[in-house]
Structure 1
Amino acid sequence: MTSELLRKARDVAAAAKVSGALVPLKTSLTTLIGEAGTNFELRHLLSATPKHLRAAGPKPNPFLPWDQRLEVERINDSHVVILNKYPVQASHMLLITQDWQPQTGWLSVDDWHALGRIDATTTGLWFFNSGPDAGASQPHRHLQLLPRAAGEPICARQSWFESHAAGTTSLVDDPLLRSCRVVPLTSALKGEMLYRMYLTLAADLGLGDPSNDHRPRGAYNLLLSRRWMAMVRRRTEGIRGFSVNALGFAGSLLSTEASDREWIHRSGPEALLHAVVEANC
C-alpha cells in the first residue's frame, strides 16, 4: 500500500520536475562484489556535477528558506519534509528543521519525534551525515529518507547490518566494527526510544553526550530501518576522489570524473569504507 505522504511526494516531484525545481541526476550503474559476496552499487555521475558536490567556498543555505515547490508536508511548527533537489533515486526526501539548527550539532528529541511520525506511514532507509567530514553537503539540519516498499531490500548491505544487529555474523574480525555499532529494533520507531538509543551509541563510540559536550566530538553517520540502527564514526570525508556519506556504508557509492575507479575495482569497496572510518584499519 502506498502511503498518502509518498503519493504526495510523487505528485510534488512531477510538478517540480516540470518547473525545473527538481533536477534528477543521471548515473550509470555498476555492481561491485565485496567481502562475503556482498553486492555494492557504484553509480557514476553522468549529469553535470551539481553545486553541492563541488569543492568551493561558502554556499547559500538552500533550506532557509526552502523551495516551496519541493515541499511535501510540514510536521507541526518544527520540521518540514521536502524533496531532494538533485535525486539519484526517486522520491528521495529530506526532513529539515524549519528554523536554523546546525548539522554538526546533536540531534534533538524533536528531530526523532518528527522522524517517528513520518516512519509510521512511510518507511525505508533513513540516514544522517553529521557534517562535512561525514559527507554532509549542507550545514542546515536535515535527515534523509529513501522510501522502500514492503518486502523491498532496505539497502545493498542489508544482510551485514541485520547479522551484526542479531549477533549472528560469521565475520569475527570485521574492521568496520571498530568504528561502527549496530543494534536491533523490535518496536515501532518512537521518538524517545530512538533518542535514547542514539545517545547510547554516541557515547559508546566516544562521541560524548549533549549534557557535557556542545556538539559531538567527531563526525559520524547514522543509518536506520525498522529493524536496526547503526552509527559509524568517521575519520575523513573521502579518498581517491570518492566522497562517502552514510549511503556508502549502506552499499551505495557515487563516483565522478575525479574518482579513481580503477583503484576501487582493484582494491574492493570495503577498502574505501575502511579508509574513511575513525579506526586505523
Structure 2
Amino acid sequence: MKSESIWSKALEVSREAVNCGAVIPLTTIKYKSSDECSDFELRFLKSPIPSYLIEYGPKRNPFIPWDSRLQIQPIKDKHTLILNKYPVQLGHMLLITNSWKPQNFLLDQYDFEAIINIDNDTTGLWFFNSSKEAGASQPHRHFQLLPRHYNQRVCPRYEWFCSLLNNKIDCNSEISHCISIRPRNNNKDSSSNDLYSSYMSMIREMNISQNDIVNKPLKPYNLLITSKWIALITRKTDRSNGFSINALGFAGYFLGTKSSDVDALIKFGPEKILMDVI
C-alpha cells in the first residue's frame, strides 16, 4: 500500500480552497443503471458548465502564474501539482509545467519523471488530452489525476482495457483499432524511463510521429495511465451525440448536459458514442 500523503494533502488544501471560493465543485447526479456490471458511469451536471472549460484558445493562461490557493506542492523542479478548480471529485489534481510548454507537442522525459514521483505516493487514474480535438480545455501542458485507493475500481472500463492488454477483446469492438496499450512495470525498480519508452513506442505504432525529433504530433490523442497499464487513443474530434469527450470518456465516464443524447448512450453503450470521435 502507498502512503497517499499527497492525496491527503490535496483534500486538506481542497477544504480550504472551497471555503475561500478558489475551488468550485461541480454538482452532479449519478444515473443509476439496472446493470451492475455496466462499463460506463453517467452523471448529469446540475450546474452550468463553466465557460472556462468550454473555450479553448487565446485567453489568460491560468497556470502562469497559477492560483497559489490551489497549490498542493512542487514536483521536482519543472512541475507543480495543483487542484482542479472545477472538480466533480474533490482531490482531482492537475500536474502542470512551471514554464510554458504546449499541450499539443510530444511529451518529454521530465513529464514522466514528475508523474512517477507522484505515482510512487498516490496513484489512481492519470489522463492527458493532447489538444482541443482530444478534449483539452487549456493549451498549457497539464496532466490530470483522479486518485484511487488500492482496492478501489480505477474506472468503469478498467477491465475492458485489461482484456485488451491480454488480447482478449473480440473482433466486435469498434474502437480497439485506435488504441495502443502497454503493461506497466510495477515493481520498486520501475522508473520514468519505462513509462516514457512505452509512450514513445505507442506514438510510433499509432503513426502519431515516426521521428522523435518532430515535436508536434500528427494526430490528436488521449493517454490513460493506471498502475497496470498505459493506453494511447487516437482522436479526430472532441464531440459525439452532444457529449464532450476527453480521455475520461474512454475510461467510461460520461457527463450529461441538456445537449447530450443520453438515450443513445444508455441504449447502445459507450462504444457507439466513442466510435464517432476516433
Structure 1 length normalisation: TM-score?
0.92
Shift of 1:228: 0.6
Shift of 1:144: 0.6
Aligned residue in 2 for 1:180: 179
Aligned residue in 2 for 1:203: 204
- Counterpart amino acid of 2:248? L
Aligned residue in 2 for 1:234: 235
1: CA distance, partners of 2:191 / 2:165: 19
Local SS of the residue matching 1:107: coil
Q: Is the 8 A contact 2:125 2:225 kept in 1?
A: yes
Aligned residue in 2 for 1:261: 262
Aligned residue in 2 for 1:70: 70
Q: Is the 8 A contact 1:133 1:237 kept in 2?
A: yes
2: CA distance, partners of 1:123 / 1:206: 29
2: CA distance, partners of 1:55 / 1:195: 30
Deviations 1:45-79 (CA, angstroms, capped at 9, x unpaired):
11121122335763321111111000001012200
Instruction: Give the 5 Å matches for 1:16-55.
Output: 16-31=17-32, 38-55=38-55
Q: Percent identity?
A: 41
Q: Is the 8 A contact 1:235 1:276 kept in 2?
A: yes
- Counterpart amino acid of 2:43? R
Shift of 1:209: 4.3
Deviations 1:84-106 (CA, angstroms, capped at 9, x unpaired):
00000121001000000000011
2: CA distance, partners of 1:143 / 1:263: 30
Q: Is the 8 A contact 1:199 1:209 kept in 2?
A: no
Q: 1:124 to 1:109 in 2, by over 3 A?
A: same
Q: Is the 8 A contact 2:56 2:132 kept in 1?
A: no
Shift of 1:253: 0.7
Local SS of the residue matching 2:42: strand
- Counterpart amino acid of 1:272? I
Q: Is the 8 A contact 1:43 1:254 kept in 2?
A: yes
- Counterpart amino acid of 1:273? L
1: CA distance, partners of 2:233 / 2:169: 20
Local SS of the residue matching 1:42: strand
Aligned residue in 2 for 1:93: 93
- Counterpart amino acid of 2:136? A
Shift of 1:31: 4.7
Q: Is the 8 A contact 2:56 2:139 kept in 1?
A: no
Shift of 1:170: 4.7
* Structure 2 unmatched ranges of 5 or more: none
Q: Is the 8 A contact 1:32 1:40 kept in 2?
A: no
- Counterpart amino acid of 2:238? E
Q: Is the 8 A contact 1:155 1:250 kept in 2?
A: yes
Q: Is the 8 A contact 2:56 2:137 kept in 1?
A: no
1: CA distance, partners of 2:23 / 2:251: 24
1: CA distance, partners of 2:210 / 2:34: 37
Q: Is the 8 A contact 2:55 2:137 kept in 1?
A: no
1: CA distance, partners of 2:196 / 2:82: 23
1: CA distance, partners of 2:258 / 2:57: 20
Aligned residue in 1 for 2:118: 118
Local SS of the residue matching 1:236: coil
Aligned residue in 2 for 1:149: 149
RMSD: 1.9
Local SS of the residue matching 1:178: helix
Q: Is the 8 A contact 2:208 2:217 kept in 1?
A: yes
- Counterpart amino acid of 2:173? D
Local SS of the residue matching 1:125: strand
Shift of 1:264: 2.5
2: CA distance, partners of 1:268 / 1:179: 18
2: CA distance, partners of 1:210 / 1:102: 18
Aligned residue in 2 for 1:14: 15
2: CA distance, partners of 1:19 / 1:170: 47
